[in-house]
Amino acid sequence: MDAIIQAQGLTKLYAQGEAAMRALDEVSIDVRRGELMLLVGPSGSGKTTLLSILGCILRPTSGTLRILGADVSRMNERDLPAVRRERIGFIFQAFNLFPTLTAGQNVALALDLKGISGRPARERSAALLEQVGLGGKLDAYPADLSGGQKQRVAIARALAGDPPVILADEPTAALDSHSGRAVMDVLKTLAHERGRAVVIVTHDNRMLGYADRIVRLEDGRIVADESARDSRFGIRDLHPEGAVA
Amino acid sequence: MRPRISELAWRNLVHDRVRLLVTVTGVVFAVVLIVVQFGLFLGFTTTTSGLIDHSRADLWVMTARVPYIEMGVPFSERKLSTVLATPGVAHATKYIVRFSQWQRRDGRQESVQIVGFDPDQPLGAPWNVVEGRTNDLKLADNVFVDELYKDKLGVSRVGDEFEIRGRRARVAGFTRGIRSFTTSPYVFTSFKSAQNYATVPGDQTIFILVGVDPTARVADVRRALAANLRDVDVVTTGEFSRMTRVYWMFTTGAGVAVLLAALLGLVVGVVVVAQTIYATTMDHLREYGTLKAMGATNGYLYRVIIQQAMISAVFGYTLAMVVSWFVVRGSVKGGAAILLPLPVAIGMLGLTIVMCTGAALVSINKVTRLDPATVFKG
């Protein structure tokens, strides 16, 4: 599999009074096309910091980050929105949908950022919602959707730019197990059948069975990076459904 | 389904209708305040120089260093023959503007300004005459007053008689909408009667109005008059109008006070709109962060916020113009004219948009500093 994300020696320091807090310490990681990778670890281990850097919304203090071969860690600040727009789709724990817009409009807003509007945007939004199983919810407002449905709208929105990378922050944390499974099924399909590189930060052990690879962070360092097949987290033989239940 | 910037801006605004109402009310309040104060300023300014602007004269001859029309000082009317003999002068006539005392039938005294002109000449006559004819003023002691001041002067109809400085005065007609900037209404009468009412000696005048022959240049005639006449100033109508306006509006501070009130309206508008747009921005801060994370540029977010401000501006302006129209209409019969010429109304739209956009700058600053990484914080 090709590496879509190549991170080398990523370090992130935060000023904390006169001292510096090392949120990430020399993290090197590749994420390949068609791979669903879980980032796990205790709170404060640097998972979200790493996800933010991989998503080009936080700059590393040192180290390099390449996305599809382009060194984004050296890019001008003004060029990063375009990278996020064109190459990365985000999924958030709290869905972050626009409450004043319908499901279709939420998806179309992401298309609008890419300069796609009007009928093409409508048709693409409808197709994306159909793809995540919400074909009938085009005109529904977020307030009228369940948590799982909201997260699937958020997935459709993340896919609007047709990005090769999907980054998800605790996508099942606010969902019941049934909804969580449905969301993970969609993400797994995106990785395995659509060739996206999917990186998911999670505390949810029920998700482990969906992973192709599990990276464990502690104190800003990678302490384990194993394929699910060889994982010592003991999930190798678990059926995904069984893992979530 | 239009998820474009304007749709997002619109939805953000109408999402909280109470806040939108507060924003629009703030804009309406500010715009009406500015329109009324600026309209008053225009009304006052126009009123101060009304006699000069409607005189039909090209040049004014007056005692040296007279700062404004009410401060004219008598000089020998023999200068009129010198004026008439100057090449390029088509008409010239004596003219009086001076304060006097009007006695109502109930004995109450009212200060008035006597305006004396020659009814046989085309210069200095009253305008907007709605009852009576200017020629009626050829008869001694006949006067015109404005309808606006009927109550103040105790006048009810043509033919009513009063006294001005102890001399008989008979109302022969009315004008409409000729206001005086001071509290003393204008009383139009013949030059001869005016000399009596205003105690101007029989061989003196206060101004000489000059009409220049269409074939001559005003500047040339002015130079010739200045060379031929001693101890007087010769100014153009435009200059004298400006001098009078500047005196009343700025030297006395009357206009400055009105302009300051208009400025206050602008400040109030900016503060109210800034507060409500800022509150709306804060409500949607997480969404702006999400947009940034999704790759929206700062420019994209600015356009959302500015469109919110523009929508508030257009709503507020439209309602404010309706309110202002009633205020302006109501002022027609009042003591102070509020003017709202079309260019000012159009200009107010621009000012309202600038005000609202300026108010949005605080929100724009907030969004510019917004860290998109906040979207990952629960």
In the predicted model, is pLDDT for residue A239 greater than 50? no
Buried b vs exposed e over B273-310: b needs ≥16 C-beta within 10 Å? bbbbbbebbeebebbbbbbbbbbbbeebbbbbbbbbbb
Q: Could you tell me if A106 lies within 8 Å of chain B, comparing CB atoms?
A: yes
Count how many residues are written for chain A.
245
Question: A-B interface: how many C-beta pairs under 8 angstroms?
Answer: 92
As a whole number, the mean pLDDT across chain A is: 88
In the predicted model, is pLDDT for residue B219 greater than 80? yes
Q: Residue B198: what pLDDT?
A: 95
CA–CA distance, B168 with A118 (Å, rounded to integer): 81
Q: Which residues pair with B164 in a beta bridge?
A: B102, B167
Least confident range of A149-158, A202-211, B175-184 = A202-211
CA–CA distance, B88 with B210 (Å, rounded to integer): 10
CA distance A49 to chain B (A): 9
Q: Residue A117: what pLDDT?
A: 87
In the predicted model, is pLDDT for residue A241 greater than 60? no
- What mean pLDDT is predicted for residues B269-298? 83
Chain B residue with Cα closest to A58: B373
Q: Which residues pair with B167 in a beta bridge?
A: B164
What's the pLDDT band for B324 if we cut at 50, 70, 90?
very high
CA–CA distance, B38 with B15 (Å, rounded to integer): 35
User: What are the boundaries of each domain within chain A?
Assistant: 3-93+150-244
Per-residue pLDDT of A84-98, as tens digits, reads: 999 999 998 888 999
Burial of B203 (C-beta count, 10 Å sphere; 0-12/13-18/19+): exposed
Which of A116-120, B242-246, B359-363 shows the highest mean pLDDT? B242-246
A131, A156 Cβ separation under 8 angstroms: yes
Q: Residue A235: what pLDDT?
A: 43
Q: Residue B244: what pLDDT?
A: 95
CA distance A98 to chain B (A): 6
What's the pLDDT band for B3 if we cut at 50, 70, 90?
very low
| Structural fold of domain A3-93+150-244 | Rossmann fold (3.40.50)
What's the pLDDT band for A231 if we cut at 50, 70, 90?
low
What's the pLDDT band for A236 if we cut at 50, 70, 90?
very low
In the predicted model, is pLDDT for residue A26 greater than 90? yes
- What mean pLDDT is predicted for residues A102-121? 91
Q: Residue B55: what pLDDT?
A: 97
Taking the model in full, what pTM does it have? 0.74
- Whether A84 and B12 lie within 8 Å, measured CB to CB: no
- What mean pLDDT is predicted for residues A224-240? 58
E strands along chain B, which residues? 59-63, 75-76, 89-103, 109-117, 129-131, 142-146, 161-164, 167-175, 186-190, 204-205, 207-212, 232-236
Per-residue pLDDT of A136-153, as tens digits, reads: 999 999 999 999 999 999
CA distance A70 to chain B (A): 17
Specify the 3-state DSSP secondary structure of A215.
strand
* ipTM reported for the complex, 2 dp: 0.85
- Whether B3 and A92 lie within 8 Å, measured CB to CB: no
Chain A residue with Cα closest to B7: A101
What's the pLDDT band for B361 if we cut at 50, 70, 90?
confident
- What mean pLDDT is predicted for residues B275-295? 83
CA–CA distance, A200 with B118 (Å, rounded to integer): 96
As a whole number, the mean pLDDT across chain B is: 90
- What mean pLDDT is predicted for residues B255-259? 85
CA–CA distance, A174 with A56 (Å, rounded to integer): 25
Which of these, A59, A47, A11, A9, lies nearest to A30 by C-alpha position?
Answer: A9
Q: Residue A244: what pLDDT?
A: 38
Give the CA distances from residue A146 to residues A67, B101, B346, in Å, rounded to whole numbers and listed in that order: 34, 84, 49
Pairing type for strands B89-103 and B109-117 reads antiparallel
In the predicted model, is pLDDT for residue A233 greater than 60? no
The closest CB to that of A84, out of B2, B286, B293, belongs to B293
- Whether A106 and B3 lie within 8 Å, measured CB to CB: yes
Q: Residue B308: what pLDDT?
A: 85
Q: Residue B377: what pLDDT?
A: 62
Which of these, B83, B176, B167, lies nearest to B126 by C-alpha position?
Answer: B176
